[in-house]
């Protein structure tokens, strides 16, 4: 679903990246931890969308984890 990203958050720990999404997927959602590079690249797209105030298409799976982002 296309949406603006409210906030992003990451820590230096391995594969720990989050984004706060608006409705209907409202709330903090973790980037799915499949691979280190995948988490990093997904987080970078989320942060870029937030920084440039552009909408991103975010896919959230049944476990409420972010699995894909593009814009």
Q: Domain coordinates of the chain in residue numbers?
A: 2-70
Instruction: For residues 71 and 55, give the distance between their C-alpha atoms in angstroms, rounded to a whole number.
Output: 7
pLDDT of residue 71: 85
pLDDT of 27 reads: 95
Beta pairing class for 17-21 and 7-10: antiparallel
Question: 60 and 25 in contact (C-beta within 8 Å)?
Answer: yes
In the numeric block, which tokens belong to residue 2?
Answer: 């296309």
Residue 37 confidence (pLDDT) above 90 = yes
In tens, the pLDDT along 38-58 reads 999 999 999 999 999 999 999
pTM of the model: 0.93
Residue-wise pLDDT for 1-29, tens only, equals 999 999 999 999 889 999 999 988 799 99
């Amino acid at each position: 679903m296309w949406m603006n990203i409210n906030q992003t958050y990451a820590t230096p720990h391995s594969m720990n990246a989050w984004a706060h999404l608006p409705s209907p997927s409202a709330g903090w959602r973790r980037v799915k931890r499949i691979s280190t590079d995948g988490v990093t690249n997904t987080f970078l797209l989320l942060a870029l969308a937030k920084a440039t105030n552009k909408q991103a298409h975010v896919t959230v799976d049944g476990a409420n984890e972010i699995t894909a982002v593009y814009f």
